[in-house]
Chain A
Amino acid sequence: MADGTTTAGSGIAFEGVSFAYAMDGSRRSALRDVTLTLSPGELLVVVGANGSGKSTLARLCNGLLIATVGSVRVDGLDPADPDRTWDVRSRVAMVFQDPDNQIVGTVVEDDVAFGPENLGVEPKEIRRRVDAALAAVGLVGFDRREPHMLSEGQKQRLAVASALAMEPAYLVMDEPCAMLDPEGRADVLALADVLAHERMHGVLLVTHDLADVAAADRVAVLAGGELTFLGTPDVLLGDEAAVTSAGLEMPPVGLLAASLRGMGFDVPARALTPESIVGALWP
């Protein structure tokens, strides 16, 4: 960007951010004094119980909501500045829970092309972006397929591809696995891993399920609107008090990994799949 005020690639930075929803003349606090950053190439998983403020945090990232107190900056840009709204939103793409609510095209390639078409991008460039986005999410060859014939996991990957066609630096995914079956869920988590660690997007993934944190670089735990933990998945999963006090639940497979560690086996705390546990025991 040829713009003196931006700091390309500096990340999404929350500094002392609070947010309150206006309700019946009073205000209800949803987020209190949150400070954290999301860097390019990082997978940050935000985990919390229902009503912990995690969706509010996601919506603050691209100006869908504006902080009541404190500041949010996207590569140095202020989402609250109306002159910057579109610049911010072109950098931060959102993917929501239900892929059916986000798909607009009658065939896959139309859906992916919708965003760049609206931006007035040249047709040749649109074709390039569609191909690149479908390759990024593993849907090569699906161009002419009808979205409603895709599996739920494939639909969610299509929603991600359509976001990627806007060439955003950051991707915010709000409960992208909540409606998926176990296969679809594994699919989307693997994609978040690749987008952050191979394609160097900053990825913020919101979830209520601790089983989704395995691939994260860092995990942020929200409880009652406050940031109660920020650190690696291994540290969080080894800290039972941090997990239960936030209203979260160790997945059964996490208890299995913890029991094996207690018996002296070298199984990492973030081994949250049967594959990773068996892989740790029999490398």
Chain B
Amino acid sequence: MALIVAEAGFAYNAGRGFENLALSGIDMVVEPGGLTLVLGPTGSGKSTLLRLASGLVDATEGSVTVDGEAMSTSARKRLRGRVGLVFQNPESQFFAPTVLEDVAFGPRNFGRPRPEDDGREAMRQVGLDPDEFGGRTPFELSGGEARRAAVAGVLAMSPDYLLLDEPTAGLDARGRAAVRAAIAAARERAGVVIVTHDAGDFLASADRVLVLFCGTSAFSGTPEEMLSAGASLPAGVRLPDVPRAMLMAADRTGTAVAPSLDPLVAARALAAMAGGRR
């Protein structure tokens, strides 16, 4: 059981004069319960990878398989519901008069027997009480509530794999915490892929990290391995500020350090390096 992207790539206008290779030679394996974080600067191919993995576009090299079945634009209908994709700013796609109707749209469209029940269950999963929020118009939700409702709309189809594009962008502290909790709940049954240019929100809970740069894989490994790779990551890929400060201080003092996401661990390390400077 896994979503497997093997040596896959995608070129826009493949075979034509304006061919533009967006992604090449990418490997990614996502198992149920796993969380893969895909990092990279704007334009590095992150969103293209999600489109490939969800069958919105066909790989022009390599392959994508879902539990052994080949994923493609033609297989997408057959595999529908198995791979859920949450776009960036998904709340801009609400259309139903109430939150519950919007969330239940997917299962209803797929002919599930009890779409409202699926919708209610998905709302509970993301921490939105269906009795409180179900009858409201989705257009008056706060940023965090709206994003969670959009995630619920995809979870209602109970996908085995959940792909999210910048799920916390533009959200305040409360909204980000709410979305993180919703994703943790989804992970109990689904494999999750999160694309972001800001590693801070998810690096601690990820089990794999893939760093894209100009359409190719610049790093693949565990979060710990990524932190230690630190300075050797390509330009434009930044570690979160706390481990980056540790590496800068180590560089300044010529000492070795194991970078950490924990501000307290970092403070102790910097204090030790700065020694008598207080």
Contact = CB atoms under 8 A, between A and B. Distances in A.
Interface of A: 48-51, 97, 151-152, 175, 178-184, 208, 247-249, 251-253, 255-256, 259-260, 263-266, 273-275, 277-278, 281-282
Contacts of A181: 41-42, 197-198
A281 to B, nearest CB: 5
B89 to A, nearest CB: 9
B107 to A, nearest CB: 29
A235 to B, nearest CB: 20
Q: Pick from A48, A50, A179, A266 the residue with the most CB of B within 10 Å.
A: A50
Contacts, number: 106
B173 A182 contact: no
Q: Pick from A48, A255, A266 the residue with the most CB of B within 10 Å.
A: A255
Q: Is the interface of A mostly helix, strand, loop or mixed?
A: loop
Interface in B236-276: 236, 238, 240-242, 244-245, 248-249, 252-253, 261, 263-264, 266-267, 270-271, 273-274
Given A208-B173, A256-B267, A282-B253, 10 more contacts: A151-B42, A175-B170, A181-B41, A182-B197, A183-B41, A249-B172, A249-B176, A256-B245, A265-B277, A274-B244
B267 A260 contact: yes
B101 to A, nearest CB: 19
Given A255-B263, A256-B263, A275 B174 contact: no
Nearest to B146: A50
A208 B248 CA distance: 27
A259 B242 CA distance: 12
A278 B249 contact: yes
Contacts of A266: 278
Nearest to A151: B42
Given A182-B197, A259-B263, A51 B142 contact: yes
Interface string B219-242: 000000000000000001010111
Given A181-B197, A282-B277, A247 B169 contact: no
Interface in B40-79: 41-43
B134 interface: no
A97 B198 CA distance: 17
A274 B241 contact: yes
B264 A252 contact: no
A252 B263 contact: yes
Contact of B245 (A182, A263, A274): A274
A252 B41 CA distance: 21
A256 B242 contact: yes
A263 B171 contact: no
Given A184-B42, A256-B267, A274-B244, A247 B174 contact: yes
A182 B200 CA distance: 11
Given A181-B42, A260-B271, A265 B263 contact: no
A245 to B, nearest CB: 12
Contacts of A49: 172-174
Contacts of B249: 278, 281-282
8 contacts: A182-B197, A208-B171, A253-B242, A256-B241, A256-B267, A265-B271, A278-B252, A282-B277
